[in-house]
Amino acid sequence: MNWLTNFVRPKLRALVARKEAPENLWLKCPSCEQMLFHRDLEANQQVCNHCDHHLRMRPAARLAAVFDDGKHDIHPLPKTVLDPLKFRDRKRYTDRLKEAHAENGANAEALVVASGKLGGHDTVVGVCDFSFMGGSMGVAVGQGLLMAANLAVEAKAPLIVFSASGGARMQEAILSLMQMPRTTIAVQRVKEAGLPYIVVLTDPTTGGVTASFAMLGDIHIAEPGALIGFSGQRVIQDTIRETLPPGFQRAEYQFDHGMVDMIVHRHKMRETLIRMTDLLLKRPQTSSTPAAA
């Protein structure tokens, strides 16, 4: 009886027990609320296959989709002083950084810089990571943009930046705001070298990033439906005491009002970037280019 109770019954229960699916296998589309299987979503570059809504995309997937065969080299950001102001609100800034690193990696920051081939040519790409403290721009992001600009100038390569940010990082106060002129200088170095600087505005691009490097591109490309602006809609509406028009600050609205040069679907982003860099550098147009991963 003990043998039956202790060994046979537990194994039978384990065989017939219902296995619960991990929570991260399915995701609800924030637009149409359809359930999306994570593998289907990854294969479709984080675009809903029901309503075509563009979900936020992590830097690793973004870089793999842009570079030829997905091959690229990540360049670690220069080391900066952590918590220079010993800032604390509801939590210590150092604790917030620890949480962000636990979720995104020990060396993660709100910007990833990589280099590789795009359409067979050397290209430097910077991708803002909204999952790291809302993509906020602190000293590390400013240093990263300067590094990316220097890499582009040294390699005589175009610089492409995918923006996604809630703005300046308040925990670094004035040091964060100082990154606005610093990133402006970084962009100017690229332009003085006669190299293209292209910005892809993704959801959301707001605050100090919009007021600096995100709006200095030779060409501004936006993803469909991306939120693009400086102040939040509620702040603007409360200030001017007027109801804002439908779609205010969305990519389509900004395109209609001349703030964005073009809106490009994520599936066509790579070929568009190849075409734009070729045009800006006056390269001969090719009908076939190496594929992304």
**pLDDT for 247-274, tens place per residue?**
999 999 999 999 999 999 999 999 999 9
Give how far the C-alpha of residue 124 lies from the chain's centroid of Cα atoms, to the nearest Å: 15
Query: Please, which pLDDT band fits residue 284 given cuts at 50, 70 and 90?
Result: confident
pTM of the model: 0.89
Task: Give me the mean pLDDT over the 157-186 stretch.
Answer: 96
pLDDT tens for 48-101 read 999 999 999 999 999 999 999 999 999 999 999 989 999 999 999 999 999 999
Residue 48 is labelled as binding a ligand:
yes
What percentage of the chain carries pLDDT values higher than 70? 90
Query: Please, which pLDDT band fits residue 23 given cuts at 50, 70 and 90?
Result: low
pLDDT at 24: 72
Residue 29 is labelled as binding a ligand:
yes
What percentage of the chain carries pLDDT values higher than 90? 85
Residue 32 is labelled as binding a ligand:
yes
Query: Please, which pLDDT band fits residue 12 given cuts at 50, 70 and 90?
Result: low
Residue 128 is labelled as binding a ligand:
no
Pair of tokens at residue 92: 């210590």
Sequence spans of domains, the chain: 12-55, 57-280
pLDDT at 287 over 70: no
Domain 57-280: homologous superfamily in CATH: 2-enoyl-CoA Hydratase; Chain A, domain 1 (3.90.226.10)
